[in-house]
Structure 1
Amino acid sequence: MGADVKIVEPCNLYECELGDEVFVGPFVEIQRGVKVGAKSRIQSHSFICSLVDIGENCFIGHGVMFVNDLFKEGKPAGGDSTKYKETKIGNCVSIGSNATILPVEICDDVVIGAGSVVTKNIVKSGIYAGNPAQLIREL
């Protein structure tokens, strides 16, 4: 854990890395191996599964869900972590409340609208929204 980290209980943190000045709200679960960059904020009721890397100065809204199991075989991986996929979130990314983030890469300077479902990599800065999330406008 970095310096000046604020964690509001209750929450579940399992062997994750939190950079300097990170804020974690109540009822958040962050699983093993997750990295959260400095000055990022994670709001209440969010779930960050293993294999997620969040950059610096990011905002994760209320109730955001990260997914690492794509049910490739038509069913859950059943705890077989070799079937899980990684998610990488760049710096200065804001993810609106109740968004769902599948295993993707999101570049720096992106805004994801509330309730959006990100199913593909985002390689261009901008505002994205919808299901599946699409570019609304460039930044």
Structure 2
Amino acid sequence: MPVVNARIDASAEFADPALVNVYGCAVGPGTRIGPFVEIQRGASVGARCRIGANAFLCEGVSLADEVVIGPGVMFTNDRHPRAVTAAGTLMGPDDWTLETTRIGAGAVIGANATILCGLTIGAGARIAPGSVVTRDVPDGAHVAGVPATPTRPSSLLDLAEAS
């Protein structure tokens, strides 16, 4: 798996560069990236972030500084995914609309969470493991569940930080 055409700060660390797929993106200083992570072109990762194994950051995802992305976290960037156009031809880059997603500074997203596209997760927000985020999450909010809804801080959310 390659690291190709990416702007990666020299202080960023990879668990194993041969076990990632990182291309056309930007990775900030002091960031740690686990094995089997994919970061696509157009994505950006801030300083001192931690990205767990098997995470997927697609085009349009932007992480501010000090964000934790747990293992297996998935982002989306297409609100209406389809394989073919109305005419039945395979869709290409001009046949869909990229939806951007922004993650605020210090946010923590627990293992196996799914973040739908076009959202903002605020600074310091915490997403419990396994949650499916379908709406914006305000600064400092704690959410859990499918779909993710506000909750009080709990040991479940503490697990998000440990993941």
Q: Tell me the TM-score normalized by structure 2.
A: 0.78
- How far is 1:36 from its partner? 0.4
**Partners of 1:94 and 1:112 within 8 A in 2:** yes
- How far is 1:126 from its partner? 1.9
Stretches (4+) displaced over 2 A: 75-82
- How far is 1:115 from its partner? 0.4
Matched with 2:100 is 86
- Distance, in Å, in 1 between the alignment partners of 2:34 and 2:133 is 23
Gaps of 5+ in 2: 1-7, 85-90, 154-163
Report Cα offsets for 1:37-77 as digits up to 9, x if no partner.
100000000110000000111100000000001227xx357
**Partners of 1:13 and 1:31 within 8 A in 2:** yes
More helix by share: 2
Describe the SS at the equivalent of 1:53: strand
- How far is 1:124 from its partner? 3.8
More strand by share: 1
The CA RMSD over aligned residues, in Å, is 1.8
Q: Tell me the TM-score normalized by structure 1.
A: 0.91
Does 1:2 find its partner at 2:16?
A: no
**Radius of gyration: which is bigger?**
2
Which structure 2 residues correspond to residues 63-102 of structure 1 after superposition, within 5 A? Answer: 63-71=72-80, 75-76=82-83, 78-80=91-93, 82-102=96-116
- Distance, in Å, in 2 between the alignment partners of 1:136 and 1:20 is 33
Gaps of 5+ in 1: none
Which structure 2 residues correspond to residues 59-138 of structure 1 after superposition, within 5 A? Answer: 59-71=68-80, 75-76=82-83, 78-80=91-93, 82-103=96-117, 104-137=119-152
**Partners of 2:125 and 2:138 within 8 A in 1:** no
2:14 is matched by which residue type in structure 1? I
